[in-house]
Amino acid sequence: MLDIEQQVLALLRSVLNLGSRAERFTAATPLIGAVPELDSMAVVSVLTAIEERFGFLIDDDEVDGSTFASVGSLVDLVRGKLN
């Protein structure tokens, strides 16, 4: 099984249709403002995909601008929900 970071990266690649560009992404890769495909509708799609993949719900008050600051901050959200 892929680790959480790899699973989140796979979801980002799939939902945002990033193709091979996502292969260079690391935990430090910025998202909001740096990945043009990540608009407000895409944020909702990514959150929905995460909920479906990992089997939990994300409340609106658990997400703010910092959640999508980087790949790592998004992975932190997932790890926090799983623990």
Region at 60 (left for phi over 0; alpha for psi -120 to 50; beta for the rest): alpha
In the predicted structure, residue 38 carries a pLDDT above the cut 90: yes
Handedness of CA 39, 41, 46, 47 (dihedral sign): positive
Q: Which domains does the chain have, with CATH numbers?
A: 4-82 (1.10.1200.10)
> What is the mean predicted confidence (pLDDT) over 5-32?
95
Radius of gyration of the chain (CA): 12
Rounded Cα distance, 38 and 51, in Å: 17
Percent of the chain's residues with pLDDT above 90: 90
Percent of the chain's residues with pLDDT above 70: 98
Rounded to 5°, angle at Cα 62 from 51 and 26:
65
pLDDT in tens, 39-64: 999 999 999 999 999 999 999 999 99
> What is the mean predicted confidence (pLDDT) over 28-34?
96
